[in-house]
Structure 1
Amino acid sequence: MSNRIRYILLWLISLLSWPWRWRLRQRLHRGGVRRVLLIRPDHLGDMLFASAALRRLRAGLVGAQIGLAVGPWSQAVAERYAPYYDALLTIPFPGFTRQAKGGWLAPYRTLWRESRKLRRWQRQHGRIDLAVNLRFDFWWGGLLCLLSGIPLLGYDTPLVRLFATIKVPYQAGQHEVEQNLTLVNFVISRWGQPVDTPPSPFFPLTEAERDWAAAWLRVGGWEGGGRLLVIHPGAGDPAKQWPTERWAAVASLLLEEPESWLLLTGSGREESLCDALIRAQPKSARQRTISAAGRTTLAELAALLDRADLVMGVDSGPLHLASTLARPTLRLFGPSDAQIWGPWPTGDPQHQVIKAARISNISVAQVAQTARAMLEVEQG
């Protein structure tokens, strides 16, 4: 289905559902907000972006029951934030499964099934007073709330406004962390109490996890004396990836410093990518390269990144995880907007972005020179 036809269909549904949406608006204005559902359909990086908003909502809406709706692919990261919500719902949000599409009707079949589940959940646990759609273009989440009888707060964007009970302006060019905080700040201003929680994403690590990472790296050969460089070459969208042989060339140049070591990270699906990168290196560099691809849980990956002197990669969740852990990052961007999806906090010299219209236009020399400059600053 083309975007234009989909928009017309959604507009008609919005028009025909006006009486229902009006009743939801009246219900919201008459009552308070004691049960809130945050909706974040995306993957690791966007979940990290949302963590600051989740923490602020918990602090500002004292006594409220907070639910978090995520895809099954984000359950592991969502569970790290368990103290900040009361219920975790997993929903296979269409468009984010990273699987083959099941035809144009598939999202609507899923919508009907999941809305019935959400209605049953409310009968068992209590009616949700307000849902907050943290994704600026996620019309499906709005329609899910409409069919489930839940008032919705969302951005005033073409697709989201169709089903939103309350609309908040979307600031073009503003980072996603700030956008998410804007929505939560609105909820707190209407139904909570002002709070001043840190505006930065966070990822909790335990000392046991840090100790595990140190021991794992020692087994691999890195004793902690020289620099530990990390390359995460993969991305959820293959179009974001930089050529493997260029990463190998960068690694070889940086490993000319004899005490430096390289750690490669990736999912199980990216194990072959990391293996190819190792094969493309000269023997001297391979001897000081460790691959953790496909061998770690999310928490273990975070603990390994927490040991790094520099983490390099493209626009991907693990790079956001590294910057959330306050590790220096160097990331390569193609057409994606780094102002919106790039490192947080914006403008921090600890996080550098090399951007080109096409990611393949970025040269080995650019990356190696920037990495060396960052390492010199870190050492100084």
Structure 2
Amino acid sequence: MFRDLARTAVRWVGQAIPVPICAPSVRREVILVRPDHLGDAILTLPALRLVRQVAPGLTTTLLAGPWTAELFAITRVVDRVLPVVFPGFTRRPSTDFTQPYRLLVHEAARLRRHAPLALVVLRDDHWWGAWLGYLAGIPIRVGADHPTLRPFLTHPVPLRSEHVAARNIELVRALLRLLGYDPPESQPTANDHPVVWPVDRAAQSRVWARLVAQGIHAPFAVVHPGSGAAAKCWPEQRWAALVDALADLGLAVILTGSRSEQQMLEAIAKTARATPLVLAGDLSLAELAELLRAASLVVGPDTGPLHLAVAVGAPTVHLFGPTRPERFGPWGPATRHRVVRSPLECPRCGDIGPIRPCGVGCMMALSVERVVAVVQDCLSKGLSG
């Protein structure tokens, strides 16, 4: 409570301090700010591609966390990426109240040397990014019309769309219009603005060599049980039951996750009757993408690798509990990317903070039987083809 009040007071002081506007350089550089991790970063790709398509003469610089550096190196949707260790996104506790503001001053000085023409904040509530543009003296600053951003923006944008990917597209369209371009006016859709992930033949070869060495051939399913937020996860026993159901349907099963999730994956494998292959932190992002591309089905909660599976075109089943699929669901055809939504809603819907554990009520309300029924329906309709 005290920290929230202090943060509000600091922002109020910050917006009251006049900052001189920098004359933009001849490069016509645009700064795009996306602090989030894998899933939200993937949902930014259609908007970044739109900038490239409509305004190829702009120099695009993305401020992104080091945790998404590999993603943007693979997709090459911007001219360059400047890594920023964004406060509040490190997934590590912090006791230094001053650190976000010291970093803000440092990064503003760095941007000032770039002398960009404009900045767009690609997250509705990212006041730190908006304040960064203000302190850097960037002439045009675009972001969502959110009360914490509004004082730092020259052009707050009322957003009409619900889905994060569509909201990103609305924001870059607003920026492009301000710069004299003519982007489309229609409601953004996944059909018009798909998430695209390039094929990596070398990564494909490495993945298949590994699978063959483990005795796995198509068809196989990938189950990715983990998430950066524990509240979005299912208990290990339910994942084990799903692994057995997939095996009973004739699929080999691969469990994927980070190195930190290895213990969880091994517990699922040990509980299951079947013998899934466990890949915990063993794959690069490019290799994970190619593994998912080859899968007959990918199942998991609302998490980054499920959005990656959508990007590579794999059939997917997404388990949604405390988050809303209308906002964070798969950005692709609903017939190919299925959502299993919890029937239970509570006042804490949307709360995926670190104090909420695995096994919250809405996730527990998703039965194994219901998820298996959706999986069977996907497979019976041949979505893996």
TM-score strictly above 0.5 = yes
- Secondary structure at the aligned position of 1:159 is classed as coil
| Contact 1:49 1:176 (8 Å CA) reproduced | yes
Residue identity in the other structure for 2:130: G
- Secondary structure at the aligned position of 2:314 is classed as coil
| Partner residue in 1 for 2:365 | 361
| Contact 1:48 1:202 (8 Å CA) reproduced | no
1:263 aligns with 2:254: yes
| Partner residue in 2 for 1:91 | 84
| More displaced stretch, 131-140 vs 107-116 | 107-116
Decide which of 269, 280, 302 is 1:293's aligned counterpart. Answer: 280
| More displaced stretch, 54-63 vs 296-305 | 54-63
Shift of 1:62: 2.6
| Contact 1:314 1:331 (8 Å CA) reproduced | yes
1:239 aligns with 2:212: no
| Partner residue in 2 for 1:147 | 135
In 2, the alpha carbon distance for the partners of 1:148 and 1:177 equals 27
1:140-184 deviation line (CA, Å, top 9, x unaligned): 11111122222311110111112111111123x611111111111
Paired residue total? 358
In 2, the alpha carbon distance for the partners of 1:62 and 1:331 equals 35
Shift of 1:32: 8.9
1:272 aligns with 2:266: no
Q: Which runs of 5+ in 2 are unaligned?
A: 185-190, 346-361
Residue identity in the other structure for 1:361: A
In 2, the alpha carbon distance for the partners of 1:333 and 1:116 equals 41
Decide which of 170, 180, 189 is 2:159's aligned counterpart. Answer: 170
Decide which of 350, 362, 377 is 2:336's aligned counterpart. Answer: 350
1:10-59 deviation line (CA, Å, top 9, x unaligned): 23422x13x43xx64x968xx99811011100011111111111111012
1:242-273 deviation line (CA, Å, top 9, x unaligned): 1011010111122113x410011111111111
TM-score between the two structures when normalised by the length of structure 2: 0.87
Shift of 1:332: 1.0
| Contact 1:48 1:320 (8 Å CA) reproduced | yes
Among all aligned residue pairs of Structure 1 and Structure 2, give the percentage whose two residues are the same amino acid: 35
Q: Which runs of 5+ in 1 are unaligned?
A: none
Residue identity in the other structure for 1:159: T
| Contact 1:136 1:170 (8 Å CA) reproduced | no
Shift of 1:331: 1.1
Decide which of 225, 229, 232 is 2:221's aligned counterpart. Answer: 229
The Cα RMSD (Å) is 2.2
In 2, the alpha carbon distance for the partners of 1:304 and 1:232 equals 12
Decide which of 42, 66, 69 is 1:48's aligned counterpart. Answer: 42
The within-5 A match list for 1:7-26 is 7-14=8-15, 16-17=16-17, 19-20=18-19, 24=21
Residue identity in the other structure for 1:89: L
In 1, the alpha carbon distance for the partners of 2:196 and 2:65 equals 20
In 1, the alpha carbon distance for the partners of 2:253 and 2:316 equals 14
- Secondary structure at the aligned position of 2:119 is classed as strand
Residue identity in the other structure for 1:206: D
The within-5 A match list for 1:22-41 is 24=21, 34-41=28-35
- Secondary structure at the aligned position of 1:55 is classed as helix
- Secondary structure at the aligned position of 2:310 is classed as helix
Shift of 1:64: 1.4
| Contact 2:62 2:82 (8 Å CA) reproduced | yes
Higher helix proportion (structure 1 or 2): 1
| More displaced stretch, 66-75 vs 370-379 | 370-379
1:161 aligns with 2:147: no
In 2, the alpha carbon distance for the partners of 1:183 and 1:32 equals 23
